Amino acid sequence: MNVKAHAKINLGLRILRKRGDGFHDIETIFHRINLFDELTITPSQHAISISSDNTLIPTDENNLCWKAVELLRAEVGIELGASIHLKKNIPIGAGLGGGSSDAAAVLNSLPKMWDVNVEPSTLAATALQIGSDVPFFLHNRSAYADGRGERLTFVKLSIPYWIVLIAPNIHISTAWAYRELSARKKLDVHAERLYDGATCRVAGIATLMTNDFEDVVFEAYPKIADTKKRLRASGAAHALMSGSGSSVYGLFDDEADARRAMEVFRSDNFVSLTQPNFIPSL
């Protein structure tokens, strides 16, 4: 079974407060782009095995795909396993949710491969045990997320821009970013929500383009701040860091400008382009 696991960007990201359970309440809009890992999943009698073309990827129980297999088979009470090969196209530690998307792709694939019926609510609950954003990747729509990122309101959201993604060769630890933000910034509820309860209006996208992690990440990694500035200088109507970094994306009205911007960054960064109104298929 061959499946794609798409990356996401955050259209806005606000960190509201630290919770008693150690997590943070956040507010964001998840949106997929045309960048994906490629997974080849085959059944096995019991064993779980992971391989990858990227040597930085763990191939043991620390891999989220391994956890997906382990948790789901325990949930449905079977002993079957899976062999998974990951072709990693999504940069690691770039705020794009690659590992979470991979795990969700495995969860979506296993019931069919094992020929078992699994309720959507069971898949979602299993996904949440793996990570706060994994339930989002079970679906192919954009979503407003709050709580610790697990409370999802799925929305129809088409972005009429060319999305240029730039990922410098910098790995940002999400745990580090949260610690730094908590130490430097008073966390509080923002006056206005990113989502109005009815629709995500593209006309107001400028109001979404804020990421509470940018200040601490830009101070520690000036290259990422410079990437955002250069995207704007290259003609991006809007630019923002995704997640806790290190990737930054720019929204371009004009395809030619978008492609020129990609060439500016290509020599020493990972670059990716998503066409306007892109909708992924699962």
CB 4 within 8 A of CB 244: no
Q: Write down the pLDDT at residue 187.
A: 61
Spatial distance between the Cα atoms of 138 and 10, rounded to a whole number of angstroms: 17
Helices (H) then strands (E): counts for the chain:
7, 10
Q: Write down the pLDDT at residue 198.
A: 45
Give the architecture (CATH level 2) of 2-154. 2-Layer Sandwich (3.30)
Mean per-residue pLDDT for 23-32? 90
Residue 188 dihedral angles phi and psi, to the nearest 5°: -155, 160
For residue range 43-95, what is the model confidence (pLDDT) as tens digits? 999 899 999 999 999 999 999 999 999 999 999 999 999 999 999 999 998 99
Rounded to two decimals, what is the model's pTM?
0.92
Confidence band of 279 (pLDDT split at 50, 70, 90) = confident
Would you kindly state where each structural domain of the chain is located, as residue ranges?
2-154, 157-274
- Does the pLDDT at position 36 exceed 70? yes
- Name, in order, each residue with C-beta under 8 angstroms of 234's C-beta and a sequence gap of 6 or more: 250, 257, 260, 261, 264
Mean per-residue pLDDT for 251-272? 96
Q: Write down the pLDDT at residue 18.
A: 80
Confidence band of 168 (pLDDT split at 50, 70, 90) = very high
Spatial distance between the Cα atoms of 37 and 90, rounded to a whole number of angstroms: 6
Percent pLDDT > 90 in the chain is 73
Question: Is it true that domain 157-274 has CATH number 3.30.70.890?
Answer: yes
Q: Concatenated DSSP letters for 56-90?
A: TS--STTSHHHHHHHHHHHHHT---EEEEEEE--S
Q: Write down the pLDDT at residue 182.
A: 82
Mean per-residue pLDDT for 194-216? 69
- Does the pLDDT at position 167 exceed 90? yes
> Within 13 Å, how many C-alpha atoms sit on residue 82's CB side?
31
Q: Lowest-confidence range among 156-160, 195-199, 268-272?
A: 195-199
Q: Known catalytic residues?
A: 8, 133
Q: Which residue has the higher pLDDT, 208 or 157?
A: 157
Cis, bond preceding 247 (omega within 30 deg of 0): no
Residue 13 dihedral angles phi and psi, to the nearest 5°: -155, 120
Please provide the average confidence, as pLDDT, over all residues in the chain: 91
**What does DSSP say about strands 2-18 and 142-146: parallel, antiparallel, or unpaired?**
unpaired
Among 257, 36, 57, 12, which Cα is nearest to 149's?
12
Question: Tokens in use for 274?
Answer: 């998503």
- Does the pLDDT at position 42 exceed 60? yes
- Does the pLDDT at position 153 exceed 80? yes
The residue type at 55:
T
Q: Write down the pLDDT at residue 91.
A: 96
For CA atoms 97, 20, 12, 145, the dihedral sign is positive
Q: Write down the pLDDT at residue 193.
A: 64
Q: Write down the pLDDT at residue 23.
A: 82
Q: Which residue has the higher pLDDT, 214 or 203?
A: 214
